[in-house]
Amino acid sequence: VAQELLELSPSSAANFKSCPQLFKFRSIERLEEPVSSGQARGSLVHAALERLFAEPPDRRSPDHASALLRGLWAEVRGDPEWRPSELGVDEEDRWLRAGESLLANLFKIEDPCHVEASRLEWWVECELPDLYLRGIIDRVEEDRDGSWILTDYKTGRTPGESRELAASFGVRFYALMCWRSHGVLPRELRLVYLADPVVLRWRPTERSLLAFERQLCALRDAIKRAAARDDWRARPSPLCLHCSFQDRCPAWQETAQTD
Ligand code: SF4
């Protein structure tokens, strides 16, 4: 990493910000992780929404969304990349119903029949000095005036007010990529939290994206320094409770010994 073009996605960048040791396990050593129940449900809901918005508008009903979710599950339920490791066969129905209620919540905050998505699950990338950014945007809508609205679905809980800016890291990352690689400054960024359900919105400006770009360049430098010294600090936080690498992490081992 120290000499190569550093590659970052919103999640790998967020990993380094929250815990450099976690970034090392995931992005440098590329260790395998079991699929958690929440992650698997999130992937299934995202895939069902992609199919829903690819349907003609008059077919986008809550029942059809549920049918798409169940159809997808029938296709992937035996696949270890989709199936949560701890999900028993007798728990599947309850687990799927939780996914269906996330989909049903979307209809409380918008009418999907009136959404004209120009791109779904759209791969974007761009290069900055010594840095390659990539990511997949859940949904892009284009208004008649040509302006773009980017939407990112979240299946976890809405963050508290003090964490809203941090939660927008991913959508700002996407906005920067749209601006740098397509010359389009999106008009609005939306985070759709399906569990509550709540929509958080931001209007990016050139100034805010330039500041965000500087933030990413500083992150690039910090990662390169960590790589050059092979010094990946573990940063314990409440995230540790859900971390797949507890057995390998020196900080977690220390905590376990002191308890
Ligand atoms: S257990 Fe905590 S400190 Fe260790 S790698 Fe995971 S998140 Fe980082």
The closest of 108, 109, 138 to 123, measured between CA atoms, is 138
Question: CA 85 from chain center: how many Å?
Answer: 21
The model's pLDDT over 224-257, given as tens digits with 9 standing for 90+, comes to 999 999 999 999 999 999 999 999 999 988 876 6
Confidence of residue 188 (pLDDT cuts 50, 70, 90): very high
pLDDT at 219: 97
Cis peptide before 197, with omega less than 30 degrees from 0? yes
The residue whose CB lies within 8 Å of the most ligand 1 atoms, and thus the one to mutate among 31, 233, 240, is 240
**Cβ–Cβ < 8 Å for 103, 160:** no
Q: What atom of ligand 1 comes closest to residue 22's alpha carbon?
A: 5
**pLDDT score of 3 more than 80:** no
Residues with CB under 6 A from ligand 1: 19, 21-22, 234-236, 239-240, 243, 245-246, 249, 251-252
The model's pLDDT over 10-68, given as tens digits with 9 standing for 90+, comes to 999 999 999 999 999 999 999 999 999 999 999 999 999 999 999 999 999 999 999 99
Residue of the CA atom closest to atom 1 of ligand 1: 240
Neighbours of 184 (CB within 10 A): 15
**Cβ–Cβ < 8 Å for 47, 171:** no
Confidence of residue 73 (pLDDT cuts 50, 70, 90): very high
Count of CA atoms in the C-beta half-sphere (13 A) of 245:
21
Count of CA atoms in the C-beta half-sphere (13 A) of 52:
29
pLDDT at 24: 97
Neighbours of 121 (CB within 10 A): 16
User: What's the pTM?
Assistant: 0.92
**pLDDT score of 110 more than 60:** yes
Residue 246 Cα to ligand 1 midpoint, Å, equals 6
Q: What is the DSSP letter of 128?
A: E
* Mean pLDDT, range 127-138, rounded to an integer: 96
**Cβ–Cβ < 8 Å for 149, 155:** no
Q: What are the Cα distances from residue 70, in Å, to 98, 129, 244? A: 12, 44, 28
Residue 254 Cα to ligand 1 midpoint, Å, equals 11
What angle separates helix 206-229 from helix 169-182, to the nearest 10 degrees? Answer: 100
Element (H, E) at 201: strand 198-202
